[in-house]
Amino acid sequence: MEYIDIKTLNLNNKRVLIRSDLNVPMKDNKIISTARIKASMSTILHCLKNNAKVLVMSHLGRPKEGEYNKKLSLFPIFQYFKKKITFTKVHFIKNYLNSNIQLTNGELYILENVRFNIGENKNDINLSKKYSKLCDIFVMDAFGSIHRTQSSTVGVAQYAAISCAGILLKYEITSLEKILKKPKRPMISIIGGSKVSTKFNMLHHLLHISDIVIVGGGIANTFLAINNHIGKSLHEKEFIKEASMLYKKFNIVIPVDSRVSKEFNEHALPTIKLVSNIQKNEEIMDIGPKSENIIQNIIKSAKTILWNGPVGVFEFKNFSYGTKTLAHSIANSNAFSIAGGGDTISAIDIFKIRNKISYISTGGGSFLKYLEGKLLPGIKFLHKKDVISN
């Protein structure tokens, strides 16, 4: 599907409502990471410089609908924008649904948390229409929320006169399509994390388009359990049969050795063992050095790399070696690399390789859903033809 690109529209004197993803980590009403805000800036600045009346809405956390929660207010995010955007006025609007907002061309208006509004999570028709009345053009730019059917993501796009894709959303889709449709080969996918059940559909889709899929973490343990005793390691027994079928059919690389421990804590000491020699009271917490070498050699030959999920308990220093080796191998590769998911981004920041990954997705759940190859709700209505172009 072709989406309307915001850059093709005449924004002058238009009320432009942007759904951004400003759901940033907060502590004591202070922003811990500004990565998502910075990623949203390109679309916002584009609209301001094209003399639009720019409204920005987003969710933050999971408040109870209909109740104001100061801890989940977007006011601190408004303050960040006000500090960073100095060439125009930046406003904060708490009550915007039932009032006639007086807007000025070239100025920015940050709206309060959409999840304070009753009906947001259920994609309420009335709320969606109220959002649509705020604008002449709706811009979906929150890739991290395109998998959610809510009033600020789907409903407003359905009822707005014009709905289009923002710069960030377009870039996210373009980057992912580069991998999903015409990847340079060989294409290597690394899928880690705790549960295969949450990533099974994505894994199944990637197996069909990847030359090699490397699995790690609890997902790898489920594959290891096909032919090995894995002690008390995290895995999903109910998926062993399906994992076995996939392992026979596709080129899946699983660990040959592991760092194990009898205790699960940051002070536990690792013991390196072959996966065929793990005892009942031991738990796999990281891949071993032989597995690291195998992964390094595979990545060296890659032209395209997709990474989602750590290969061990990287939060514990003694069990971070596998994920660290993986991270640096990807960083040192000449391949086009794309990474996504909360734990993956945490690992990227811990091992300080952010500038060496070709593209880091802003999405978590949406990243996984998009990799399943399905049309997601948040981009369904971004293709209307009655547009006002330059």
62 annotated to bind ligand:
yes
155 annotated to bind ligand:
no
End-to-end CA distance of the chain: 22
343 annotated to bind ligand:
yes
Question: What tokens appear for 116 in the block?
Answer: 């304070």
107 annotated to bind ligand:
no
List the one residue out of 120, 18, 7 whose CA is nearest residue 62.
120
Apex CA 37: angle with CA 73 and CA 3, to 5°? Answer: 110
**DSSP 8-state symbol, 268:** P
61 annotated to bind ligand:
yes
60 annotated to bind ligand:
yes
How many CB atoms neighbour CB 83 within 10 A? Answer: 9
Hey, is 5 helix, strand or coil? strand
**HSE value, Cβ hemisphere, 13 Å, CA-based, for 285:** 26
86 annotated to bind ligand:
no
List the one residue out of 328, 195, 297, 258 whose CA is nearest residue 203.
195
Residues making up the chain, counted from first to last: 390
Q: SS3 letters for 85-112?
A: CCCCCEEEECCCCCCCCCCCCCCEEEEC
Hey, is 300 helix, strand or coil? helix
Question: What tokens appear for 285 in the block?
Answer: 């917490």
199 annotated to bind ligand:
yes
21 annotated to bind ligand:
yes
Alpha-carbon gap, residue 376 to 390, rounded angstroms: 28
115 annotated to bind ligand:
yes
Question: What tokens appear for 300 in the block?
Answer: 């060296």
Q: Mark the binding-site residues for ATP, compressed into ranges.
A: 199, 315, 341-344
Which residues are annotated binding-site positions for (2R)-3-phosphoglycerate?
Answer: 36, 115, 148
Q: Which residues are annotated as a binding site for substrate?
A: 21-23, 36, 59-62, 115, 148
Binding-site positions: 21-23, 36, 59-62, 115, 148, 199, 315, 341-344
